[in-house]
Amino acid sequence: MHTTTAPVHLMNNYARWPISLVKGQGNQVWDDQGKQYLDFTSGIAVTSLGHVPPKLTAKLHEQLDTLWHCSNLVHVPQQEILAEKLSRLSGLDQAFFCNSGAEANEGLIKLARRYAQKIKGTDRYEIISFEQSFHGRTLATLTATGQEKVKDGFAPLPQGFVTVPYNDLDAVKSAITDKTCAIMLELVQGEGGVHPAEEAWVKALRELCDAHGLLLLIDEIQTGIGRTGTWFAFQHYDVKPDAISLAKGLGSGFPIGAVVATKEVAAAFAPGTHGTTFGGNPLAATAGIATLATMEEEQILERVAHIHDVLIKELEKLKAEHPDKVVTVRGKGLLLGVELTIPAGEPVAYAREKGVIMLMAGPQVVRLLPSFVTTDDEVKQAITVLSEALSQV
């Protein structure tokens, strides 16, 4: 059913494009009219290994024939395998599995508060977050988000969040009080405009947390699982967080989220304090295991570095071709933003008409999130179309 209007029986909370996708393979997707597109978004940083990757498909089919779901009242072996892999890759100790990024960040917030109150014996509960951040759509995570547009109409918002400018150390120092329990941030603000954190600032945040007895919480929903060129974005900064949140690329399109923390912090979640019905069920955990195994077996991080280099070269050409329209290119790995002097909506729409799907990240930034198996030719195709789009606007 091809439609260009809002479906009658769905809530109208998405500004949907006028296409209906029905099939995907690798980096290509097809709509219900048979038109083919290059997906340069990975489904918003989700299908990092391409659509319907064969190795994952085989593993999921095998699990589908065995066991779909069981409650978390029993041991789930797949969870234990996935948790061990995440611990080994991150240097953290223990994991909790849920269904989405918002749930993972909700878990981070609850973990930080309970750690402060039950493990440390304080009455601290406030979390410092940053302007232009995006942490989710639950009441707590949208309150932590540093964008007013997501909060409109949802008052009263929960207490316990203070938002300050990004990459501003003095602002953070001024915001710390005897109620502060944690600092929460993205190391590359994806939805907020593709703004990377400054290395010296991140290291200073770690020192501040240590000095004041605060937790450093890293939102790795979009940056985690190889998106920035390392397994986790914090590994670019030579710091160790107390806990991180994961989702998006962890299941290659199958819904799964996670909180991974040090053993000391994870101890705040005693039996009965937090939970989920579907989180980490055998299917979801199998998708996570297969994603990480495929990335290791195929040395995907090396592939990310190569695609990044090709993409940067093409974007440098783009900037040279359109010096009046391209301001800068920023980001890490395969999370890149092209800041324009003009609104980004028109070139993004033009590219889609020409068969390349891209995203915006704020009014004047084109966000590029190609999969980790993108070819050199697909990179060149995408940037050629973006160049054409800029010429047309």
Instruction: Answer yes or no: is 137 a known binding residue.
Output: yes
Helix ranges restricted to H, 196-299: 199-212, 263-266, 282-297
Instruction: Answer yes or no: is 220 a known binding residue.
Output: yes
Instruction: Answer yes or no: is 253 a known binding residue.
Output: no
Q: What is the largest CA-CA distance in the chain?
A: 61
Which tokens in the block code for residue 265?
A: 């912090």
b/e map 294-322, b = 16+ CB within 10 Å: bbeeeebbebbeebbebbeebbeebeeeb
Instruction: Answer yes or no: is 374 a known binding residue.
Output: no
Instruction: Answer yes or no: is 388 a known binding residue.
Output: no
Instruction: Answer yes or no: is 57 a known binding residue.
Output: no
Is the CB of residue 304 less than 8 Å from the CB of residue 229? Answer: yes
CA distance 171 to 127: 14
Closest CA to 373 of 316, 315, 295, 309: 295
3-state secondary structure of 124: coil
CA distance 206 to 248: 25
Instruction: Answer yes or no: is 221 a known binding residue.
Output: yes
Is the CB of residue 197 less than 8 Å from the CB of residue 165? Answer: no
Which tokens in the block code for residue 178?
A: 């005897």
CA distances from 322 to 250, 325, 334, 384, 389 (A): 36, 5, 22, 12, 11
Instruction: Answer yes or no: is 222 a known binding residue.
Output: yes
Q: Enumerate the known binding-site residues.
A: 101-102, 134, 137, 219-222, 276-277
Q: Enumerate the known binding-site residues for N(2)-acetyl-L-ornithine.
A: 137, 276
Q: Enumerate the known binding-site residues for pyridoxal 5'-phosphate.
A: 101-102, 134, 219-222, 277
